[in-house]
Structure 1
Amino acid sequence: MSTVIIADDHPLFLKGVRSFVEEYGLQVLGEAFNGHDAFELIKAHEPDLAIVDLEMPLMTGLEVAKEVKTVGLGTKIIILTFHKEIYLAQEADNLNLSGYLLKEFAIEEMKRCLDQVIAGQQFFSENLYPKITEEFSLLTDAKITPSEKKILRLIAEGLDTRQIAKRLFISDRTVEKHRSNIIQKLQLDKKTNALLLWAQKNKGLIF
């Protein structure tokens, strides 16, 4: 029987997850209401799986996953979240996590997720993919050049025009021209920080 630790700071949701995984046939070794306790339980019990909420006090689900990886534990991590931001799913993928499950679709996707993860595969909620496809299409259709993508990456990091110019050894004017072209291609509002918000929201597409 596969073993699991579950963690979520919402008691009702935690209870629901526990009920589901026990009915599925997993042995629950412990549950936590914050990320720190979740990590300590994973270290203590080394379960086959850990199902952890993305947003928890003390440590996020992704921070728990990073620590598990850092200390070399073999526990497979499944993230549970309401967040559909692509850069978060991309970060989970970069960490080689086993699953990224959206809470609003958990009832219909949980069994399939567990089936695939226990079989050694990854499961990322299928409800992410239409959004990913749409945003990749936007980036491609906008004909963003490699130079413009490089500018977007630095904008996403929070650098301003002068800092970007210094990093890339180009003039402030050249950076501003790139910014203007990107804003036009993506059809963003010129008078707000829309480009910064877009770049940070779509990190998964530009990194």
Structure 2
Amino acid sequence: MNTTIVIADDHPLMLRGLTDFLTSKGFNIIGSAEDGKTAYNLIVKLKPTIAILDIRMPYKTGLEIAEDCKRNELGTKVILITFDKEEELYDKAVEYGVYGYILKEFAIEEIETCISQVVIGKPYFSEEIASYLKSSTLENKPETLDLLTKSELRIVKLIAENKTSQDIADELSISIRTVDKHRSNIVHKLKLDNRPTSLSIWATLNKDFL
């Protein structure tokens, strides 16, 4: 599949740096913008596979674009890049179905891995932001883990290892239908929403307790 990408950042050097780097790696950059309004219009018009967006931009923030993409079911997977570590911004990103969340200081090092994960439907969040959130909000084992059966805990652990439903089915010698049933039960018990990324993100942030 040809992965198409739109990039938006109101810092020209960051925009040029990411565009040049990804182009040199063979990625198909089909559009770029220095403000959120232009970026969203490009997404609507060009329907890229992935949109790499700065969170803070004039006219429309990366989060607002992600929210609009989700509400209008555009299908483009959003990756946010930012200097911010605020928990509120991260929570909004998860709420709006963002697939990737990268800190700008690690953007060049992580963007290829992030894209490779996101394009196959797996969320990717900078280890730095995951570590920060763990230290600030997840110091204790989540009580909701006690609601899960041993089988469900095993599946959550495999999800935290970025295993697909097919991988899990093969490893546990069960059908994908059974895996999906377990995933549905886990989402219900943990009171997560049904977005594809929600359980993966939860499992990643809680993997030290599994």
Normalised TM-score (structure 2): 0.63
Equivalent in the alignment of 1:40: 41
Equivalent in the alignment of 1:123: 124
**Secondary structure at the counterpart of residue 38 of structure 1:** helix
Distance 2:35 2:41 in 1: 10
Q: What amino acid is the match of 2:44? A: K
Equivalent in the alignment of 1:4: 5
Report if the CA contact (8 A) 2:78-2:99 is conserved: yes
Q: What amino acid is the match of 1:118? A: V
**Secondary structure at the counterpart of residue 14 of structure 1:** helix
* Aligned residue runs from structure 1 range 37-76, under 5 A: 37-76=38-77
How big is the shift at 1:97? 0.9
Distance 2:48 2:101 in 1: 18
How big is the shift at 1:25? 2.2
* Aligned residue runs from structure 1 range 168-179, under 5 A: none
Q: What amino acid is the match of 1:30? A: G
Equivalent in the alignment of 1:104: 105
Structure possessing the higher radius of gyration over alpha carbons: 1
**Secondary structure at the counterpart of residue 78 of structure 1:** strand
Distance 1:119 1:21 in 2: 18
Equivalent in the alignment of 1:132: 133
**Secondary structure at the counterpart of residue 4 of structure 1:** strand
For residues 171-192 of structure 1, what are the alpha-carbon distances to aligned partners after superposition, in whole Å with 9 as ceiling and x for unaligned?
xxxxxxxxxxxxxxxxxxxxxx
Distance 1:56 1:99 in 2: 17
Q: RMSD of the TM alignment (CA)? A: 1.5
Runs (4+) off by over 3 Å = none
How big is the shift at 1:24? 2.6
Q: What amino acid is the match of 1:98? A: Y
**Secondary structure at the counterpart of residue 128 of structure 1:** helix
Distance 1:70 1:89 in 2: 18
Q: What amino acid is the match of 1:96? A: G
Equivalent in the alignment of 1:27: 28
Equivalent in the alignment of 1:17: 18
Distance 2:125 2:60 in 1: 22
Distance 2:108 2:36 in 1: 23
Choose 87-96 or 51-60, whichever is displaced more: 87-96
How big is the shift at 1:126? 0.6
Distance 2:4 2:80 in 1: 16
How big is the shift at 1:137? 4.7
Q: 1:134 to 1:27 in 2, by over 3 A?
A: same
**Secondary structure at the counterpart of residue 59 of structure 2:** coil
Segments of 5+ residues of structure 2 without an aligned counterpart are 142-210
Number of residue pairs the alignment of both structures matches = 140
Q: What amino acid is the match of 2:76? A: T
Q: 1:137 to 1:69 in 2, by over 3 A?
A: closer
Percent identity, aligned pairs only, is 41
Distance 1:59 1:3 in 2: 22
Distance 1:114 1:24 in 2: 12
